[in-house]
A and B are shown apart, each in its own frame.
Chain A
Amino acid sequence: MVSITYYLILAAILFSIGVCAFLIKRNVITIFMSIELMLNAVNLTFIAFAHMWHRIDGQIFVFFVMVVAAAEAAVGLAIIIALFRVRQTLNVDQVNLMKD
């Protein structure tokens, strides 16, 4: 049996990659993907712990997170398309109307 530590380390690595990508990337779709990555890193920890404690509720949580992520992806992509139609760009640094 694989120790839980490995799962957690993997989840931490995935999460950190997600954070870094979120901070560094300018393309809004890439940022979106990094958010998904972070969510899935969290999902991984949920599964790992659920497995460790032999409990079902962690797995149920994961399903909830996936459903919410799917909904979020649908809305987010719609916003991105709308944004692209208006601004002709996907660079978040150029989408700063609220700041000025």
Chain B
Amino acid sequence: MNDTLLWLIPTLPFAGFLVNGTLGRKFPRALVATVALVATLIPALIVLKLWIFMKSAGAPEQFSLTGAPWISISGFQVNFAFAIDHLTLVMLGVVTGVGFLIHVYSVGYMAEEEGFWRFFAYLNLFMFFMSVLVLASSFLLLFVGWEGVGLASYLLIGFYFRRDSAANAGKKAFIVNRIGDFGFLLAMFLLIWHFGSLDFASVFGQVNAAPGLTGGFLTAICLLLFVGAVGKSAQIPLYIWLPDAMEGPTPVSALIHAATMVTAGVYMVARCHVLFDRSPSALAVVAIIGCATALFAATIGCVQHDIKRVLAYSTVSQLGYMFLGCGVAAYSAGIFHLMTHAFFKALLFLAAGSVIHALRGEQDMRVMGGLRKRIPITFWTMTAAVFAISGIPPFAGFFSKDEILYRTFMRGGALGYTLWAIGVLTAGITSFYMFRLWFKTFFGEPRFDEASLAQGHDAHATHEEELAPVHAHRETHAVMLAEPEEPEHDKGQVAHPHGVHESPWVMTLPLIILGVLSVIGGWVGISSALGGHNEFDRFLEPVFAGVNGVATVTEASRGLELGLAGISVLVALLGVFVAYVLYYRKPGTAASLAQRFRGLYSLLDHKYWVDEIYGRLIVSPILMLSRVVLGGLVDGVIVQGTAATLAGSTRGLGWLARRMQSGNIRSYAGWLALGAAAVIAIVLFVFVHPAHATVTITR
């Protein structure tokens, strides 16, 4: 494999960012889009070539590229170096492949938005940092990518920066991520302290060479690394930024906040599996946090009305599954779910974006409905994604989720069984809220106001239900009136020439590709119990070698796995059934249930009051501290006081001195005479000794 080609993977998007970021303002939109697409397509093709190369027999399990030295201090050295193994390859495939599709989609989605060039410049910047993150061969370079994607995420969440909620969401994401980054940094300091290196190969080599190295120290490192992962991958207790991040444009939600960036934490844990394997307690923490997050976010997702927020909570929940997989040392299962999730969640977001596009910025599911016939491509692709995420065979999500659940069960012990039970329960809730979304969006009577949509007016104005809170969350789409309509749609909808419409092909094409991937993407990892060959596991085996690997299949384990898979499918179907009854057969039931269990509903509706609790417990004390101690005492008294005293005394002296500068020439002369007299007096009485003076004169 040619090294130069590999260097192109991160540098091309960066070049795209530079070109679009500096000159894009002057470019026509087509040129901006071309630059951005080429800068992502070529890396995707290179990754494809790399994939074929790595699959071929005799390929090295890992190869590295070393660039210039970066930091070199007394034996401690960090290089600009990349390393590519099978894990990196999977991540690269997801990042560049899904990334490119989302770029294509964005060309259509953002066509009418202002700041088109800015959007694509940021997207390319994100692709650059994300490639650096997954390619990095040391913790420090990974951290560079880690921070960089955080920056790109911040910029893109706040893309509609004129809207306060978007700007605030960007800040929230950035600040919450800082907490996690703090943990990551501490972990790196510990690594330097103990291993004297941040290089993956060196650190992991040293750990492998020291079988006795276990216990508190490694647990501390792992837990601190996991704090970083918790921040980036939106797990309890730092998940709060991700739902708010939906303020960004929908393709951003799909790319950054579903498919790639938020999975960086999972990738990092899998990358550091050598460390985690040595610390069972850290692994248990990972599994528990992941599982708890999965359940917690899924329950919130059940009552959200904003279509993107449902998906956001489901992302948090699915990320929890991935951590659960990593936590039971089934890293390849976690990565497998990461990959399938990237397909179907990106698709869900893009399809949701297509729905929003069709309804001109409407995101509230309460005013959707009946869209099945109106936007058929969106409907069918979204259907594939909904089935995939719900874990219904043979869609992609089933295989990966089932693998995680099976491995959780196999972990054994009270913890393993409890986690498994919660995981299965969560699977049921997942399919419930996803089908709730599906039914509410595509079935039933249309609840939107077509006439006002056609005029581009605010669809909400005449609506009867309690819609107050959602108004804030609409994209500026609603305001964009002039949208080029495709003629063929006009023929079908003569009565409403500007009403609900299917998206243009640049948007539907990525949907279709991702739809196909959502269906077949899981087939690469069908476990042997289900008649497959665990291909995905084997592919990643070089990376996770030494981990208790692919379990040997016996008749008993095959039966167990099949049974467990059956249970989770049944629970998922139950969830589908409940959603079907509540939102399709008897649409009123949900509301009356919500009325009946008012307390529970309110708890979920307010997301367990977590934002409010954090606000009270953390944000307001810090604000108080800032205002009173830092603002009042430190800034007001010490800093300003010092400055004011200095300034005041200078001014006072100046006032005194100014009185001498009267402008009266004779007073100047007077001062001069006085000064001269004073100098003479000093010389006479201090420097010249009186006795000596007398002698001189009398001589």
Contact = CB atoms under 8 A, between A and B. Distances in A.
Interface of A: 4, 19, 22-24, 92-93, 96, 98-100
Q: Which of B663, B665, B670, B697 has the most CB of A within 10 A?
A: B665
A100 B662 CA distance: 10
20 contacts: A4-B697, A19-B673, A22-B666, A22-B669, A22-B673, A23-B666, A23-B669, A23-B670, A23-B673, A24-B666, A92-B665, A92-B666, A93-B664, A96-B663, A96-B664, A98-B663, A99-B662, A99-B663, A99-B664, A100-B663
Nearest to B665: A92
Contacts of A96: 663-664
B694 to A, nearest CB: 12
Contacts of A93: 664
A95 B16 CA distance: 72
A83 to B, nearest CB: 13
Contacts of A92: 665-666
Interface in B659-682: 662-666, 669-670, 673
B258 to A, nearest CB: 75
Binding site secondary structure of chain B: helix
A74 B670 CA distance: 25
A4 B665 CA distance: 35
A23 B673 CA distance: 9
Nearest to B663: A99
Nearest to B677: A19
Contacts of A24: 666
B197 to A, nearest CB: 73
A-B pairs, top 10 by smallest CB distance, nearest first, are A99-B663, A23-B670, A19-B673, A23-B666, A22-B669, A96-B663, A92-B665, A23-B669, A92-B666, A23-B673
Contacts of A4: 697
Interface string B581-624: 00000000000000000000000000000000000000000000
A19 B675 CA distance: 13
Nearest to A5: B697
Nearest to B666: A23
A99 B673 CA distance: 21
A23 B665 CA distance: 9
Contacts of B666: 22-24, 92
Contacts of B670: 23
A22 B673 CA distance: 10
A99 B667 CA distance: 13
B229 to A, nearest CB: 74
A98 B665 CA distance: 11
Interface string B643-673: 0000000000000000000111110011001
A19 B673 CA distance: 8
B689 to A, nearest CB: 20
A69 B155 CA distance: 79
A30 to B, nearest CB: 12
A93 B669 CA distance: 13
Contacts of A98: 663
Nearest to A16: B673
B676 to A, nearest CB: 9
A96 B664 CA distance: 7
B685 to A, nearest CB: 17
Q: Which of A4, A23, A93, A98 has the most CB of B within 10 A?
A: A23
A24 B666 CA distance: 8
Contacts of B697: 4
Contacts of B664: 93, 96, 99
Given A96-B663, A99-B662, A99-B663, 10 more contacts: A4-B697, A19-B673, A22-B666, A23-B666, A23-B670, A92-B665, A92-B666, A93-B664, A98-B663, A100-B663
A81 B670 CA distance: 25
Contacts of B669: 22-23
A22 B674 CA distance: 13
A4 B662 CA distance: 40
Nearest to A96: B663
B666 to A, nearest CB: 5
Contacts of A22: 666, 669, 673
Nearest to B667: A23
Nearest to A97: B663
A19 B662 CA distance: 19
A49 B328 CA distance: 108
B223 to A, nearest CB: 75
Nearest to A98: B663
A22 B670 CA distance: 9
A17 to B, nearest CB: 13
Nearest to B661: A99
A51 to B, nearest CB: 15
Interface string B235-247: 0000000000000
Nearest to A26: B666
A95 to B, nearest CB: 8
Contacts of A100: 663
Contacts of A19: 673
Nearest to A22: B669
A34 to B, nearest CB: 10
A98 B662 CA distance: 11
B636 to A, nearest CB: 41
A88 B666 CA distance: 20
A100 B673 CA distance: 25
A9 B673 CA distance: 18
A4 B699 CA distance: 11
A4 B698 CA distance: 10
A24 B697 CA distance: 34
A24 B673 CA distance: 13
Contacts of B662: 99
A63 B669 CA distance: 26
A11 B655 CA distance: 38
Contacts of A23: 666, 669-670, 673
B279 to A, nearest CB: 82
A52 to B, nearest CB: 10
A64 to B, nearest CB: 21
B383 to A, nearest CB: 89
A100 B664 CA distance: 11
A59 to B, nearest CB: 21
A4 B663 CA distance: 40
A23 B668 CA distance: 9
Nearest to B676: A19
A92 B663 CA distance: 11
A54 to B, nearest CB: 13
A24 B665 CA distance: 11
A98 to B, nearest CB: 7
